[in-house]
Every structure is written in structure tokens, then in C-alpha cells.
Structure 1
Amino acid sequence: MRIAFYPGSFDPVTNGHLDVLMRAFAVADKVVVGIGVHPGKAPLFSFEEREDMLRQAVADHGIDPARFSVVSFRNLVTRAAIEHGASLLVRGLRDGTDLDYEMQMAGMNGTMEPDLSTIFVAASPQTRHITATLVRQIAKLGGDVSAFVPAHVAAALSQRAATTQTAAD
């Protein structure tokens, strides 16, 4: 069984993440999404909320749940991937800047774990401009993010923005 590990923060899950994830299913029997948890950062959504968002999005795409799992990790991506049986590390590319950075990371990761191959998935033209950072900023300012995230994520962002705004008032 070919297992791919797709790491990221997924805070929130965007259509860009899903674009890469759906194509990862084309090359792997199973995809493990690794949500990186950094103790020094305060994400907008908890690990459990992000896991739920990912599970719903994958189910909405009709993917067999047996082909998919979500895990958290706090260590090196390479270690987390190996711990979960992956032979492939999936990385999305939006532009040349991403490519330069990801090539360096692939080289370092390949040196640390020679049995782990990095595969690059170029973002589709429809999603290459989407970043979770911009989505969070737009939502925080009351903007419509429905073109950038699945409907259930847009609803969660809207609710979180309203809760945050109410707490600030």
C-alpha cells in the first residue's frame, strides 16, 4: 500500500489544500494529513476543529474514509511521515517562490529520510492564489470567503469572526 503524508497547518482548510489533497489520492492508496501543532502559535481553530473540517471536506468529495486519516505532529515532518508508514511526502506549489523553498526542504528531507520521496503538486489556476493566511484576514474583517473554502469552513469562519468581534466589543 502506497501511503502519502500531506503536512500543513490547515488553519483553515482551503480549496487550495483540497485541490492538492484530491490529487494526492490519485497517486496514493491512502493519504495521511499531518496537522503540525506548534506550541508557540495560537491557531484560529483547534486541532479537533481542523480535523473535523478536513473529514467533512473529504467525505463531500466522495473519498472512501478508509483511504484517509488525520494526525497531529510536533516533530520533524520526516519523522511523522515515517511513523505513519508513508513513502511519499506531498507538497503543494503555488509559484516559483514555493518551488525554491520546497526544493531545499525536499533535499534536506531526502538526506534525513532517503526512503521518503517528496512529490510536488502544482496548484490549479483556480486555487493558486489562495492562502490560509489571506482567508483568515478576509474573514476577520468580515469579508466573504466562500470562493476560497468549502461551505462548512466558510460558516465556521463566519461564526468565529462574529464570536471574536463580540468578545472585542
Structure 2
Amino acid sequence: MSAIKAGAEPLAIVFQDDGLVPNSPMPFLAYKGVVDPGRDPEATIEQLFGSNGWGAMWRNGVYDFTHYHATVHEVLGVARGRARVQFGGAHGQALEIAAGDVAILPAGTGHQCLSASNDFSVVGAYPPGPPMDLQRTSPENHARALKTIPLVAIPATDPVMGKDGPLVRLWNSVRRPGEGRDP
């Protein structure tokens, strides 16, 4: 039995730059209930992400302060519990995420945990490329991020659906010629 629901389409949201959180012209993607976590949900999600070329994985939660990554995209797979997470910065959107959900954040997408159940557990991962950087909101970090974010390559695969997944289609339709692309 597959760990993912076939034919799942993610919710796609484009968050605007708010002057502190740069966000991205590429949509944030949220798959609801896409992963059947099984008996070892963290391992199930790690296997899924790894099989689709996403690595440098970690297990934890989501920080309780607004932050973003300016040199890398990130995927968050909810293994256990539930949380309310603010995506896109103060002017973004708070979403409830729960076990089986996956959120894919293009570089620059702000995120902050507002509340979580005691058993909330996330598996995070990144596509091949530079290591994760953590940026807090400040005018200086925002200015630097505006220079690095357009250089971040679009991943060759969607961490949930693989090479033909929605991420590949949606993000490549937004990226302008000459901006970062995986070969």
C-alpha cells in the first residue's frame, strides 16, 4: 500500500513581500491528508521525501518566531499531532496542519508556529543544494534575501509526488528565464 494518496493536489497560495518577510512569487503548497503515516510516521515521511530526492532531514516542530530561509526551499511533513502555523509572515495566513499534511515552502516563505498539540512532530527536508539558512525578520536580512532568493534552483522533484508533481509544474510556470533552475 502506498504511503500517499494518488492524485492529490495541493492548496497553492502566493504570499506577498511585506517588507520584512520576502516570501516568493512561487506558490506555497499545502497537501492536506496526503500521507498515510502508518505505524512509524516519521520514518514513512522520511522515506517519501528521500525517494523524491529531498534530504538533509530533521525531526522537530516549527519555531515559535517568524523566520524564513533565503538560500533553500523547505518541506514540512506533519508526522503526529496538529498545529496552527502562520505562513507568509504577519500579512500571510494561519493554517491548521495535522498528521498526514505536507507544506512546501519556496525560499523566502515566512513561517511561525502559533500553537501546537503536545505530540506535534514534523519531518523537515530540503532539495539538493546549499545548506539551510535561518533568517529572522529585519530590514537587513530582507535586503540580502531579495538578492539570494531568485538564485535558488527550482527542485527537479516535488517531495510528495516526484518528478511529475505539482511543484515542478507550478513553480516552473512562475520562474522567469535566467533564474535558478536545476539542470
TM-score under structure 2 length normalisation: 0.28
Q: Which has the larger radius of gyration?
A: 1
Tell me which protein shows more helix as a share of its residues. Answer: 1
Tell me which protein shows more strand as a share of its residues. Answer: 2
TM-score under structure 1 length normalisation: 0.29
